[in-house]
Amino acid sequence: MRQLHLGLLILCLLFFSLQSHASTADWQAFQSQATQAYQSGDYLQAEQAIQQAIRVAEKADNGDAYQASSLNMLAYIYSAQGQTDQALEVIAEAVQLSRLASGDHQEQLGQLLFNQGQLLQQANRFEQARLAYQLSIERYLALMSTGEGKLWQAVLAQAQILTQEHQYAEAENLINNALAGFAETEYYNPQPTSAPDRVDLLLLLAQIHTAQQQPQQAIGALEQARQALQQSSQPDNERLLNVLEHLANVYDDANQEAKSTPLREQALLLRQQQTEPSLASVMHLNELALRHQLNENYPQADSLYQQALDLLSDLNENESVEQALILGNLASLKLSQRDNTAALALFEQSLLLHDQLKQRPLEASQIASYTATIYYNQRQYEQAEPLFLKALALLDSAPSANQESLLVALDNLTALYTSWGKPSMARPYSNRARALKTK
Q: Which residue type is seen at 162?
A: L
pLDDT > 70? residue 213: yes
- Identify the domain boundary among 133, 154, 175: 175
What separation in angstroms does the CA of 333 have from each of 176, 235, 289, 306, 311?
A: 44, 37, 10, 12, 19
Q: Note the pLDDT tens digit of each residue in 138-166.
A: 999 999 999 999 999 999 999 999 999 99
pLDDT at site 302 = 96
Find the domain containing 354 and state its range. Answer: 275-359
Q: What does pLDDT average to over the chain? A: 89
Residue 279 maps to a domain: yes
pLDDT > 90? residue 62: no
Do 24 and 102 belong to one domain? yes
What separation in angstroms does the CA of 290 have from each of 37, 300, 347?
A: 49, 10, 16
Residue 399 maps to a domain: yes
pLDDT at site 45 = 95
Do 397 and 291 belong to one domain? no
- Contact status, residue 125 vs residue 166, Cβ threshold 8 Å: no
Residue 60, classed as helix, strand or coil, is coil
Cα-Cα-Cα-Cα dihedral sign, residues 30, 33, 38, 43: negative
pLDDT > 50? residue 52: yes
Do 168 and 25 belong to one domain? yes
Do 330 and 396 belong to one domain? no
Average pLDDT over residues 358-372: 95
Alpha-carbon gap, residue 105 to 63, rounded angstroms = 11
Residue 253 maps to a domain: no
Do 293 and 399 belong to one domain? no
Alpha-carbon gap, residue 126 to 162, rounded angstroms = 9
Residue 326, classed as helix, strand or coil, is helix
Do 171 and 47 belong to one domain? yes
Residue 211 maps to a domain: no
Residue 217 maps to a domain: no
Q: How many domains does the chain have?
A: 3
Q: Note the pLDDT tens digit of each residue in 319-357.
A: 999 999 999 999 999 999 999 999 999 999 999 999 999
pLDDT > 50? residue 136: yes
Do 422 and 341 belong to one domain? no
Do 378 and 353 belong to one domain? no
Alpha-carbon gap, residue 222 to 205, rounded angstroms = 9
Do 86 and 168 belong to one domain? yes
Average pLDDT over residues 258-274: 84
pLDDT > 60? residue 13: no
Which DSSP state fits 103?
Answer: G
pLDDT > 90? residue 12: no
Do 318 and 291 belong to one domain? yes
Do 285 and 385 belong to one domain? no
Helices 403-419/361-377 angle, 10° precision: 30
Do 327 and 395 belong to one domain? no
CB 215: neighbour CB atoms within 10 A? 19
What's the CATH code of the domain at 85? Answer: 1.25.40.10
- Identify the domain boundary among 155, 175, 195: 175
